[in-house]
Amino acid sequence: MSSDIESFTAHLQSSKRILALLGAGLSASSGLPTFRGTGGLWRTHDAISLATPEAFARNPALVWQFYSYRRHMALKASPNRAHFALAELAAKHPGFLALSQNVDGLSQRAKHPPEKLQLLHGSLFNVKCTSFYCSYHAENFTDPIVPALKIPTDESDPTTKEARHAVSDALHAKQNQKELDIADAQVYLPSIQVSDLPKCPECREGLLRPGVVWFGESLPSKVLNTVDKFISDSDKIDLIMVIGTSASVYPAAAYVDNARAKGARVAVINADRADEPAGGLRDNDWFFEGDAAQIVPEILK
């Protein structure tokens, strides 16, 4: 296993069929937290434990607050150099396909050609109706999606509001309103009624939910079919780049072995040397350790 950029570049240049499996580490430099390890906590909740249908059934307000916060943060973030470098490779290479586990929309905003980007786990900016009888789904970029989910400011926190008003007048306080970092468990989080959560505009009964794939749910069949077709139509896959992902969630993680079975060499780009794909690494693989935002543009240059 090597970290030699020259041998990687030579292989990339001769590669006809290339996959890239993308994960949260790709967007870490854009300021968006990953799921596992540091940053994987939202308030006192493991982010993974909120990404389940059971969590939504138990406490839809909390889960919506988590996703509304993430929509807000993703809209405030900008794609980094790795998103742009991958988008450029996708635009110029006819045999390249990116399989993204990310839901943050940053690859799309870096102008990654949509047909070369398969969203395995959906998007923060899709919503769908939870009613069994309704099939409503739509793109939605409204932030906040409903007024109740607006990120509170220090002015709306009853404790800090009192303190502020003790030292300044109401006008001054309003001008200096600061959004609270509600990911921090010490910070005030308003309680929200279910009746104030996003409702389906079509059936007018069901709650809307984020259009992401939670644990135990199937990935979109159209996406799975496209990826399966790319792999099965290829006599050989030359390379799979595994970028900023712990590659611990299936079926996404299995694409590394599927690509290997078609002859692919594996290049891992990860900040943590311990995060190898499940099947381990082989002698002719590459591991580039560090920030994807720095390494990806460098090795794709």
CB-based contact 118:227 (threshold 8 Å) = yes
Site size with ligand BJW, rule: CB under 6 A: 33
- Rounded to a whole number of angstroms, the minimum distance from the CB of residue 2 to ligand BJW is 18
Give SS3 for 99: strand
- Rounded to a whole number of angstroms, the minimum distance from the CB of residue 1 to ligand BJW is 16
In order of 4, 10, 272, the CA distances from 1 in angstroms are: 9, 16, 15
Q: Kindly state whether residue 296 participates in binding ligand BJW, applying the rule CB under 6 A.
A: no
- Rounded to a whole number of angstroms, the minimum distance from the CB of residue 194 to ligand BJW is 20
Contact letters for ligand BJW, residues 21-50 (x by CB under 6 A): --xxx--xx----xxx-----------x--
d(CA 231, CA 24): 23
Among the listed residues 72, 93, 121, 137, the single catalytic one is 121
Q: Kindly state whether residue 272 participates in binding ligand BJW, applying the rule CB under 6 A.
A: yes
Q: Kindly state whether residue 183 participates in binding ligand BJW, applying the rule CB under 6 A.
A: no
CA angle (94, 239, 257) in 5-degree steps? 125
Q: State which H helix or E strand residue 87 sits in.
A: helix 81-92
Q: Is the torsion defined by CA of 234, 236, 238, 240 positive or negative? A: positive
Q: Which of 154, 238, 276, 291 forms a contact with ligand BJW (CB under 6 A)?
A: 291
Q: Which amino acid is at 81?
A: R
Structure tokens at 136: 């409503």
121 is catalytic: yes
d(CA 125, CA 107): 13
Q: Which of 4, 205, 217, 228 forms a contact with ligand BJW (CB under 6 A)?
A: 217
CA proximity to 251, closest of 75, 106, 99:
99
Q: How many CB atoms lie within 10 A of CB 166?
A: 7
Q: Which of 184, 215, 263, 284 forms a contact with ligand BJW (CB under 6 A)?
A: 215
Q: Kindly state whether residue 257 participates in binding ligand BJW, applying the rule CB under 6 A.
A: no
Q: Which of 99, 249, 266, 300 forms a contact with ligand BJW (CB under 6 A)?
A: 249
Q: Kindly state whether residue 218 participates in binding ligand BJW, applying the rule CB under 6 A.
A: yes
Active site residues: 121
Binding interface with ligand BJW (CB under 6 A): 23-25, 28-29, 34-36, 48, 51, 101, 103, 121, 212-218, 244-246, 248-251, 270-272, 275, 291-292
